[in-house]
Structure 1
Amino acid sequence: MKRTLVYLTVVCLIFISFLKPISAHSHIDVIAKVKPSVVGVGLYDALGAQTHQLKGTGFVFGDGTLIATNYHVVAQELDPKFVQYHIVFSGSGRHPAVDRAEIIASDPLHDLAILKISRKLPPVTLGSGQMKDDGTEVLLTGFPIGAVLGLYPATHRGIIAASTPDVIPSVNSNQLTTHLLEKLDKPFLIYQLDITAYPGNSGSPLYDAKTGEVLGILNKVFIKESKETVLEKPSGISYAIPIEYLRKLAVRNKIAL
């Protein structure tokens, strides 16, 4: 009897030891699949203190020339008196490739923008647009602290915590902008995430940890104290726009997916 119990215990331990590497290995494969499609989105300013400025993250989709990111990442108005234009950083390391980009579609309400570059990069696979269940394991790849030392995308792991209306109460009435009032009038569901992210992650692809299909676009981080302490004390609560709205933006502008 004792020998049988020992035998069963050994078998169970061996089985468990095989399960863990399989899960980890699956994440490695999925991240390796998505990572080449993650790009930096920024601004070229010929007269700026820093000519090539990284503003946020984006990802390649469609025919390989299309870049999805947040509208707020590219919302800065370009000054016609200076040489300024949007750029996309690709690759990794201290010397990434840089391509000039043009905004071809935007949706301020859902905080989305589509850019186009002249050459093709590896595209991601977009999800169907159907909302995913709470508890779905997800990955997030982007540039959480910018590109101080070069372009090095980082991946965080978490779950979809909830599908919730995209409304965050204002501290006072002075903060009720026209854009926010429109959101209050026409609320839509976004993903609330139990995942660590930072301001530089804006525009990062949120993707299924098992398949690599992009489910959403990260667009904001809940700050529990102040913007100055967000790197030191992250809240672990983030939000992402469902991929449904990127698909709709593309269709409205006759952009092939």
Structure 2
Amino acid sequence: MTKRTWSTIISSAIIIGAGAGGVFWIHQHSADQLQDGPRLAVVAAKETENAAATTASKQPVKKTRKQIIEESQKKVVTIESSSGLGSGFLYNDQGDVVTNAHVVEGAKEVTIRTLNHEEYKGTVIGIGDETDVAVVRVPDLKKVKPLIIAKSKAETGDEILALGSPLGLENTVTTGIISGLGRSFEIAPYIYSNLYQISAPITHGNSGGPLISAETGEVIGINSAVVEQEGGIGFSIPMTSVLKQVQAWSKNPSGTTSVRTAGDTHLGSATKTLQAEGIVTDFYTSLNLSDYVTAYALLGSEWQSATTYAKFREGYLNTSEVTISEVSSVNKGDDEMEVKAMITANERKDGEYILSQYRVEYQLGYENGQLKILHGKGKKVK
């Protein structure tokens, strides 16, 4: 993350649409060695080989990244509604496609296009009002083998693949990593909570496409939004947070749709809360880099007047590293935001480093057009 704050770089947040083996060694060192020795040894070796082969056959075959991409693309579709294009993916064998709600909102019937450019009709059977997720049923895709859904959450640093149809360019794949966790903000009318932040480039048309583990080929998220500035920062909804709702729609199709305008061209301005989270994140990034000047500059004038730079810097000299998680924010109105997070700090006490956790809460607001951290407080958890 750069030292510049998100408030200066974000101009708009956009809803985008093992093997087993062995070594056998025979050492025939004398003429009076047992006659059956070598023969029994060979038999033992053969049994070892057979056992190893059996064990290996039970292990799942690790797929290459190319194989994962090729197999995944067959289950990813382009969704065309009356006002735009988006993406989606098969998640069960009933022909049900998961996508973003903003891709199909306002539509009852949509057109689905597969990797082979075959077109089918799909019906929206479930759609979220505040959660940006929907399910489209495509009878012609029933019994087609779906993508596998991950049962666990991803972690920072995990390698990922983003599939979809950015700008209408179908079957596009971009690569990257999970670059952040716990991102939460609002782009009306949708509320996004605990998102994955990703480095894989995504843009219009990627909406609803799968975020796939580059190691396992499992779906870990739904690509949903991007901040288009200086390369862009993408966000993906974790599948673990919406899977139960998706399954409920498949089991009991609602047949209802939103009355809002459909399509992947739905845009939203950068939320102030997202900027506020970025300021707090940059604050701790600067501390980890020992860039106390930048960190201090993010504080509001009232905080700075109560704490000199020297005192501020001294307060962090015994902290070697800080990680931030569970970030959430709320717009308090009147250009004021509140950001809460969990902080894990590696602090030196009595000559030893110990890990301490704090729940922190910051109030942010604008001073001379710049978003600043006005006040803050923390409570030690352990």
The answer for the alignment partner of 2:132 in structure 1 is: 111
Letter in 1 for 2:248: R
SS at 1:108's partner residue?
coil
CA distance in 1, matches of 2:153, 2:237: 11
Determine whether 1:88 maps to 2:112. yes
CA distance in 2, matches of 1:108, 1:222: 22
User: Kindly tell me: are residues 245 and 107 of structure 1, through their superposed partners in 2, closer, same or farther at Cα, counting changes over 3 Å?
Assistant: farther
The answer for unaligned runs of 5 or more in structure 2 is 1-62, 253-382
Root-mean-square deviation (Å):
2.2
User: Kindly tell me: are residues 254 and 123 of structure 1, through their superposed partners in 2, closer, same or farther at Cα, counting changes over 3 Å?
Assistant: closer
SS at 2:93's partner residue?
coil
Name which of 234, 240, 252 aligns with 1:238. Answer: 234
CA distance in 2, matches of 1:243, 1:62: 14
Determine whether 1:253 maps to 2:283. no
Letter in 2 for 1:139: L
Deviation, 1:108, is 3.0
CA distance in 2, matches of 1:141, 1:27: 13
The answer to whether the 8 Å contact 1:105/1:253 transfers is yes
The answer for the alignment partner of 1:26 in structure 2 is: 64
The answer for the alignment partner of 1:15 in structure 2 is: none
The answer for the alignment partner of 1:127 in structure 2 is: 150
TM-score where L is the length of structure 1 = 0.67
Encode CA deviations 1:102-122: one digit per residue, 9 max, x unaligned: 111112322000010112233
Letter in 1 for 2:243: R
User: Kindly tell me: are residues 64 and 252 of structure 1, through their superposed partners in 2, closer, same or farther at Cα, counting changes over 3 Å?
Assistant: closer
CA distance in 2, matches of 1:254, 1:40: 20
The answer to whether the 8 Å contact 1:57/1:204 transfers is yes
CA distance in 1, matches of 2:78, 2:107: 19
The answer for unaligned runs of 5 or more in structure 1 is 1-24, 46-52, 79-84, 171-176, 225-232
CA distance in 2, matches of 1:28, 1:77: 35
Encode CA deviations 1:181-210: one digit per residue, 9 max, x unaligned: xx3xxx721101111111110111001001
Name which of 193, 196, 204 aligns with 2:201. Answer: 196
Q: How many residue pairs end up in the alignment?
A: 188
Structure showing greater radius of gyration is 2
The answer to whether the 8 Å contact 2:125/2:250 transfers is no
TM-score where L is the length of structure 2 = 0.46
User: Kindly tell me: are residues 254 and 146 of structure 1, through their superposed partners in 2, closer, same or farther at Cα, counting changes over 3 Å?
Assistant: closer
SS at 2:205's partner residue?
helix
The answer to whether the 8 Å contact 2:76/2:163 transfers is yes
- % identical aligned pairs: 24
Determine whether 1:74 maps to 2:104. yes
Name which of 221, 224, 227 aligns with 1:219. Answer: 224
CA distance in 2, matches of 1:63, 1:109: 27
Deviation, 1:54, is 5.2
The answer to whether the 8 Å contact 2:105/2:127 transfers is no
User: Kindly tell me: are residues 88 and 254 of structure 1, through their superposed partners in 2, closer, same or farther at Cα, counting changes over 3 Å?
Assistant: closer
The answer to whether the 8 Å contact 1:67/1:115 transfers is yes
Encode CA deviations 1:115-161: one digit per residue, 9 max, x unaligned: 10112233100111x321100000011111215xxxx3010000001
CA distance in 1, matches of 2:94, 2:250: 16
The answer to whether the 8 Å contact 1:110/1:245 transfers is no
The answer to whether the 8 Å contact 1:197/1:234 transfers is no
